């Protein structure tokens, strides 16, 4: 094979690149690859800081390597006729199970010729703005859930689990339980709306949305959105407890809720605040009974399903109920109530 001489150093070579030996060729090119780079990772959501912006990450190790590769590409400068053909990263050092050093292998190419350079990435950890705000309870939207029984709340809790962390980032900053419901604070309005939609697909609810000015952000007016999800026990025939009274919902009209006090027989108009404070009486707390007799301050009842007789105090029976009538026994709050069965 023909031996040639490098035009710069005179070295004998069988193959020259643009009349230069391989060493002189690469020395003659403008190549600026940093020997060390640093990146910042959020230890909570595994986002990494690119410039002034936090970029969503996946799992920690993938984010660390991808972040280092992106930073190398950003900071490297090579002559136009060269290109970065490949960059590979490998985690070389951990501290408390967190990667802190990555070895990087950068391949430059010029046609069929290539050169391998090495660099390393040093990993720093700092919580991102979003995770800090979430931990401090900041939010752009609050979903107020009201009038939910235990079964419906169980459904809501399962949906909440889907939304706590999405795409590796916190979406819910606070959950506060209230009577028959909860308040759920969201970092974004869109996620709050999606959460509401998911609930409405599984539970029959009424939804209202409103927004109010909460201050300035980034030089613009900032709004906080409130989404009200109400599953009020207003179905006709629903039984609820308000204070010590048992009520049956008779009808609704123009935002008014008309109910009967089953102990006194009084017809009362309730508002939504009454409903929110009420306790829903589940079917599991009820059973069908037949009134057999009254005697000495007691009433004898027949459990229709089990065929067993038992006694309860006469003051537990709804006024107007007579021997031979069917009723519903409600065991609730350590008391027993017998109300007329509606056919």
- Could you read off the pLDDT of 273-300 as tens digits, one per residue? 777 777 778 777 888 999 999 888 899 9
What does the alpha-carbon distance between residue 24 and residue 9 come to, in Å, rounded to a whole number?
A: 7
Looking at residue 216, its pLDDT comes to: 67
Q: Looking at 92-106, 119-133, 228-242, 325-339, which range is the least confident one?
A: 228-242
Q: From 111, 144, 139, 94, select the one nearest 15 (Cα to Cα).
A: 111
Give percent above pLDDT 90 in the chain.
Answer: 34
5 strand-pairing partners: 12
Secondary structure, 3-state, 127-180:
CCHHHHHHHCCCCCEEEEEECCCHHHHHHHHHHHHHHCEECCEECEEEEEEECC
Nearest in space to 147 (alpha carbons), one of 49, 52, 271: 271
Calculate the alpha carbon distances from 18 to 73, 255, 295, 319 in Å.
26, 87, 117, 108
How many residues does the structure list for the chain?
343
Give the whole-angstrom CA distance, residue 70 versus residue 47. 13
Domains 233-281 and 283-343 fall in the same CATH topology: no
pLDDT at residue 225, rounded to an integer: 94
283-343 homologous superfamily: Nucleic acid-binding proteins (2.40.50.140)
Give the mean pLDDT of the chain.
86
Q: What is the pLDDT of residue 258?
A: 86
Tokens of 45: 């959501």
SS3 320: coil
What was the pLDDT predicted at 38? 94
Q: What mean pLDDT is predicted for residues 80-85?
A: 90
pLDDT of 342 reads 65
pLDDT computed for residue 234 by the predictor: 66
Contact of 215 with 230, CB cutoff 8 Å: no
Spatial distance between the Cα atoms of 329 and 318, rounded to a whole number of angstroms: 10
**pLDDT tens digits for 42-70?**
988 888 898 888 888 778 899 999 999 99
Choose among 218, 279, 288, 272: nearest CA to 247. Answer: 279
Domain boundaries, the chain: 33-127, 130-230, 233-281, 283-343
pLDDT at 45: 86
Kindly tell me if the per-residue pLDDT of 264 is higher than 80.
no
Q: Which residue has the higher pLDDT, 324 or 219?
A: 324
Tell me the whole-structure pTM to 2 decimals.
0.52
Average pLDDT over residues 147-152: 82
How far apart, in Å, do the first and last CA atoms of the chain sit? 107
DSSP 52: T
Can you tell me the distance from the alpha carbon of 238 to that of 248, in angstroms, rounded to the nearest whole number?
A: 6
Rounded to 5°, the CA angle 278-252-202 comes to: 65
pLDDT tens digits along 154-180: 889 999 999 988 877 789 999 999 888
Domain 233-281 has CATH 3.30.310: no
Beta strands 286-295 and 279-280, pairing class: unpaired
Q: Does residue 343 surpass a pLDDT of 80?
A: no
């Amino acid at each position: 094979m023909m031996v040639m001489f490098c035009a710069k150093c005179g070295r004998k070579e069988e193959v020259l690149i643009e009349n230069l030996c391989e060493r002189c060729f690469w020395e003659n090119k403008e190549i600026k690859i940093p020997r060390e780079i640093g990146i910042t990772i959020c230890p909570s959501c595994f986002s990494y800081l690119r410039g002034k912006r936090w970029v969503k990450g996946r799992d920690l190790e993938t984010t660390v390597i991808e972040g280092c590769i992106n930073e190398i590409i950003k900071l490297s400068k090579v002559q136009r006729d060269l290109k970065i053909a490949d960059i590979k990263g490998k985690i070389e050092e951990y501290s408390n199970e967190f990667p802190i050093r990555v070895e990087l292998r950068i391949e430059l190419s010029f046609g069929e010729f290539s050169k391998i350079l090495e660099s390393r990435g040093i990993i720093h950890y700092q919580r991102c703005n979003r995770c800090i705000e979430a931990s401090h309870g900041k939010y752009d939207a609050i979903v107020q859930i009201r009038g939910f029984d235990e079964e419906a709340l169980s459904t809501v809790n399962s949906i909440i689990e889907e939304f706590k962390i999405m795409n590796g980032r916190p979406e819910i900053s606070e959950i506060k339980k209230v009577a028959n419901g909860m308040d759920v604070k969201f970092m974004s309005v869109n996620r709050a709306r999606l959460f509401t939609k998911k609930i409405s697909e599984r539970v029959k609810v009424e939804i209202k949305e409103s927004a109010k000015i909460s201050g300035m952000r980034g030089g613009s007016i900032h709004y906080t959105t409130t989404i009200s999800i109400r599953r009020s026990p207003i179905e006709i025939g629903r039984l609820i407890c308000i204070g010590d009274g048992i009520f049956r919902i008779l009808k609704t009209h123009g935002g008014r809720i008309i109910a009967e006090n089953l102990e006194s027989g009084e017809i009362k108009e309730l508002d939504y605040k009454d409903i929110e404070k009420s306790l829903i009486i589940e079917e599991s707390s009820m059973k069908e009974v037949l009134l057999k007799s009254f005697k000495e301050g007691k009433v004898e009842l027949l459990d229709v399903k089990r065929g067993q007789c038992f006694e309860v105090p006469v003051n537990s029976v709804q006024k107007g109920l007579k021997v031979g009538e069917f009723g519903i026994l409600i065991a609730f709050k350590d008391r027993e109530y017998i109300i007329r069965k509606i056919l």
